[in-house]
Structure 1
Amino acid sequence: MEIRVKGQDVAFEPAKLLWLIQRDFLQGKSVQEMVNEALRRIPNNNGDRNIDQVNQIRDSLAIMGDNSTAFSLPQPHLQRTKLCDMKDNELDQLYVKRREQLKKLVATIIHPKVVQGKPLNGKDFVAFLEQILEALNKGEIPSTGSIVEVFNKVILDRCLKLYSQQMDILRLPIQENRLQEVHEESKADAKKLFDQQHFGRHHAERSVLKLDDEIQKVYRTFLLANEYHSSKLCEARYTECEDKMDHLQVMRLPSMAKFNAGFLQCDQTFERDCVGPSKETYKQKMMKMLGKSRSLFIKDYNQRLSNWLVTFSLIVAIVGRFIIKFILLEISGWLMFIFLETYTRMFWSSESLYYNPAWHIIVSTWETIVYSPILDLDRQDFLQFLVTISTDIWAIPIGILLLVLLVYWRCYGRRKHGSRSLLPLYNSRQKTGSNRPRTD
């Protein structure tokens, strides 16, 4: 319950106990010492039940602690039966003086109370009294402690709500140390709110322990949720990288540079996106999977590249022989084919070839042609682009026109002007004796 005292929000405090003691003697212990002694526990070594009940009552009263104030009044008059008919001037003047002091003391202890900005009226007091009765009916023996627990329950729920709201701001998954930091900050704010508003400022140990226990339960829930989201996210990134590595294993045009670029991209994406408690576990799986994929790719890379070069050498020889009829190109193709298929098998093993400097030059040239940041010949969209260009409606007429011009040039152009090629070409026309100049 929130109470305003003198215009300020403070914790709801139990009413201060004012012990009014009337005695005739002035010697001996002071009334405050008498009250403090009356609130002390009685030793009960024999386990007397009656003494336990007395101690329980004293403990409940002692919860008020420094709120217990003692005040003494002397005897107002010797004729006690006529006190109601006497005026102040007829009473003992010491009594009148002490009575005025008591009024001032009560005025300093009691302050006007405001509940949620409104003065406490009769209806509010009835609700207040109902809560007190509910607390009294729950315990075997009515105690101040049970009343404190009932009033603090509302404050405890409010503190738990504040803690949960601050924790809900987090976007899971996050690092465990960051989650711990936010937990400590939110817990401190919740306890600060509890200290400001709880019933019985210095005596709510049970409520404090219960608040800690409830906060710990909520925190364990966030730990499990963070672990679940972390595992789900890391599993997704791991699966994406695994699929990417499988795709790179079956490239039509093998490229170590492209594989390394994909390898690095997978590793960076995993490090950036995978967070939380599951990161270390999936990181080990990730490194194992990437290492295995890399070893398998390197094992097949040289062999696949060698097969591609053999095929390429045959294509070069065929093109130089039957299409453009360029003898140097044909010879280059056959020399490459013989070198790859014959010489390496006779003098080198396949493994020794891969460590040869000449092979490194070939690999570097291949990598430059096949893959670069600008052009990737193995890309699906690039291959589709080539197919689209070749099947375009304008490609067919242009191809036919170029073919006609080529045939015309080879059949008629060379007869009129002769061959002017700077490079040796095959000449299908046989030189006959009739074309030779006659000699004498």
Structure 2
Amino acid sequence: MAPNETDDTTTAGEVEEPRAGRRRAARYIVPVTVMGVAAATIGLVPALADSGDPDLPDITAAQLIEKIAQSDVERLSGTVKITTDLGLPDLGGLESGLLSGAAGGEGGSSADPSGRLTELASGTHTLRVAADGPDRQKLSLLENAAEYSLIHNGKDVWGYDSASNEVYHATVDEADTKERSAQRPPATPKDFAEEALKAVDDTTSVKVDGTAQVAGRDAYRLVVEPKQSGSTVGAISIAVDHETGMPLKFTLTPAGGGSAVVDVGFTKVSFDRPDASTFRFTPPKGAKVTEDTEQDRAHGGFGGKPERGPKPEEDLAKGLDGLRMLGEGWNTVATFDTGTGAGLPTEEAGGDLGGFLGSLGDQVKGDFGKGTVFSTRLVNALITEDGTVYVGTVTKDALVKAAEAGK
């Protein structure tokens, strides 16, 4: 196995110098998005294993990140295995109802992708993926004796749930396609890697740590680690294809140890052009077809046409009252006011609901007053008694200190 400069620790200052505000917003948005879609479920499964130690030419971390940036793979097909283990509490079946509501909603369609893709945020899933340029992609979520497929072919977007025989159809233009691609949940190693590398700054150690073989292909292993203490992120490992520069596997391990929080990688992959028939879809006989509506557009549904304008972090700041970032680097904490003027209902005021919510968190107090900390293996969130929220990929102690400093 080639050493590949395992002791070459590179700071992002040597790699790139993006604006501080953009880095910090990106670091916040990614984990909070994951927390939001996963907060109703639990998964605990082993991480996907690598095999082989191919002998590859030496490369520096800066060169490998540049290789990822220059990767121009547009055609591929393969199978992806994704595992998410945030270590959430067992909600006693409540998660099933919440997810079904998100997927279809009252009177909605179980084939609506805006809800179905949230399932990737918990447990282990197998996906079949295919792409042929920016106008044709297909993602299939394989389930027990059923399959959910999302197909983009030109101006048409189809969602099909074989279990219910329901179809969701939308039409999009080129601008919509680009915007939807930016908004959809990450589902491939490349998606996760691109988001993780946005968080790289001078508080980060980046190095090449040997090689691996993923899906039968030789790859370099890029390791990203926080230099600061207090972060819940232990390390991020990205297996980068030696030939194409495309990430083949992404693994995020928590500072607290144990299994990976997120582990996503190809088990099979081909960079040949998929057959055109892969992206053709005709609703099966008897299927219930739901067309996207003006209401979908107004609420930014998958097939809708949202207004052009602010970037996602700017939209987030507008949607949350006075979003601010506290601290720096991996210890950045986001805070905002819920606008309610009050925190969670107490057991006295909220009855069983107040007691249930309180049991899911830890009670804390400080200069900010009193509050409840809700924890996962990656994201911690503090809700104070006056309705202020503090959230970040930091430990509970670091979160409380940030809340005290921000008061």
TM-score by length of 2: 0.22
**Larger Rg: 1 or 2?**
1
Comparing both chains, which one has the higher relative contact order based on Cα–Cα distances under 8 Å and sequence gaps of 6 or more? Answer: 2
Give the number of the structure whose residues are more often helix, by fraction: 1
TM-score by length of 1: 0.20
